[in-house]
Amino acid sequence: MTTETALFTVIRADATPAPSLPAFGQFIGGKFVPSTSTSTVDIVNPATEEVLTQVPAGTAEDVDAAVAAAVAAKDAWAATTPRDRAAVLLKIADIIEANRELFETLEAANTGKPPAVAEDDISSAIDTFRFSAGAARAYSTLGADDYAENHTSVIHREPVGVVGVITPWNYPLLMAAWKIAPVLGAGNTLVLKPSEQTPLTTLKLAELIAGEVPAGVLNIVTGPGRVVGNRLSEHPDVDLVAITGSVGSGQKVAAAAAGSVKRVHLELGGKAPVVVFADADLEAAAKGVRSAGFWNGGQECGAACRVLVHESVADKFTELLVREISEITVGTPGAADAEIGSMISKAHYERVLAALDDIRKDGLTIAVGGRAIEGRGYFIEPTVVTNVPAQAPITSNEIFGPVVSVETFSTDEEAVTRANETIYGLAASVWTKDSARSLTVPRKLDFGTVWVNSHLVIATEMPWGGFKGSGYGRDLSSYALDDFSRTKHVMYNRG
């Protein structure tokens, strides 16, 4: 039986400060320059549907100019000491912090995020630059030693060279920071293409730090993925290309990169299972899904979006979860108490609504939510789907919206098998009070991050990245510095 309720309205607080828009142009060689194209992309506030501004719809020629600037700057930047580079990263962190409100307002206007999420994004971006500054200085290799008779080996850690970076729309500045900080910290120069939908905070960052970063070390080219992103991926002078995005875009990047045999770093989608055992603290698990399944409106690659709960406690857990989700407040970015905001764009809003239609057609139960919220802006009700059989499409397709599904299992083995039945391998969580389970189950789950009695808590010191279809490569932690470095062995004959 389908029971649909109309619990949700949007708290509208549109009288927020006007966002401080960035300069117009491509940021190449330390300044904004005109694109070779006169076409532009409209940048929309998805909570109000208003056009905020335009940015250039860049071209392959724009990318070539940016890559040339990054190539020209790379030897001098690679020759700087870790201390010099750390000083620049710390300065970038200080500049973001000094302009925190500006960045939060701009990010929220471009994405429809509520204040708590925008604040967390900017705080985490600052922390990423500060961590990478310290990590770049602390990073070392094996000491010189002899491994062949009369020969002394030394390992040097070198930058890779020029790194191409392609970022998504869900955390625009934060995803840029996750790449810029370790890429520059390891001594590379870079060309970054932000999502065509959300370039504003990345451009603003370039504008504000232009005087602190040597010209050509950091370049930003806006424009469509299939043009700008593709040229970055195939460009013979780009040594490594890193993308955070969907599986399909990652596959295209990897295919385009193959021609020049460049290294590829892929942070792709996810469909995180939340495995709730019969002995779990069910209230804590329901609250955990509320915060981790609906953070950023569920537009989160590690979102707690697929619950697998033991059949003996499924009814009780579902009741608790539905109660939690019914209490979620939806609002525009200026609404201080809003927990979730709008979907990022009209196209994405329509994709999520189409997924909800399919769920109805599949005969699943929508226990709460399930519809668009009327009025301006791309808002969708927080939704819980129950009565979900094994292998239903919703168990494996990334919806990337405020939709959580609930399935049941009967044995631990079944829980692990079913949790792993997805092409994705980014993140998962296990909820149990049994210490043996808490040790054994995470080891059997095929995901790059597994939380126990928690979900979506990120530590800058710890690696983030996936297995299987979620890609390879690690963000955050000193593992990111590894990914954006290369080792060179030099052997000295002392004979």
Residues near ligand NAD (CB under 6 A) are 166-170, 175, 193, 195-196, 225-226, 229-230, 233, 243-246, 249, 252-253, 267-270, 301, 398, 400, 426, 466, 470
Radius of gyration, alpha carbons of the chain: 23
Positive/negative CA dihedral, 139, 141, 142, 146: negative
Q: Judged by CB, which is closer to ligand NAD: 170, or 383? A: 170
> How many angstroms from the chain centroid is the CA of residue 452?
21
Q: Judged by CB, which is closer to ligand NAD: 170, or 219? A: 170
Q: How far is the CB of 247 from ligand NAD (least distance, A)?
A: 7
Q: How far is the CB of 216 from ligand NAD (least distance, A)?
A: 22
Catalytic sites, residue numbers: 267, 301
Q: Closest by alpha carbon to 452, among 464, 461, 443, 460?
A: 443
Q: Judged by CB, which is closer to ligand NAD: 170, or 485? A: 170
Q: CA-CA distance, 53 to 261, in Å (whole number)?
A: 38
Q: How far is the CB of 380 from ligand NAD (least distance, A)?
A: 16
Helix %, strand %, coil % for the chain, to 5?
A: 40, 20, 40
339: left (phi over 0), alpha (psi -120 to 50) or beta: alpha
Residues recorded for the chain: 495
Q: Judged by CB, which is closer to ligand NAD: 86, or 344? A: 344
Q: How far is the CB of 132 from ligand NAD (least distance, A)?
A: 16
User: What is the bridge-based pairing of β-strands 306-310 and 403-409?
Assistant: parallel
Element spanning 246, H or E: none
298: left (phi over 0), alpha (psi -120 to 50) or beta: left
How is residue 446 written in tokens?
């095929």
Q: CA-CA distance, 245 to 398, in Å (whole number)?
A: 12
Q: Judged by CB, which is closer to ligand NAD: 107, or 196? A: 196
Contact assessment for residue 173 and residue 252, using Cβ atoms and an 8 Å cutoff: no
Q: How far is the CB of 254 from ligand NAD (least distance, A)?
A: 10
Q: Judged by CB, which is closer to ligand NAD: 105, or 249? A: 249
Q: How far is the CB of 445 from ligand NAD (least distance, A)?
A: 17
Q: Closest by alpha carbon to 429, among 312, 253, 281, 248?
A: 281
Q: CA-CA distance, 318 to 441, in Å (whole number)?
A: 22
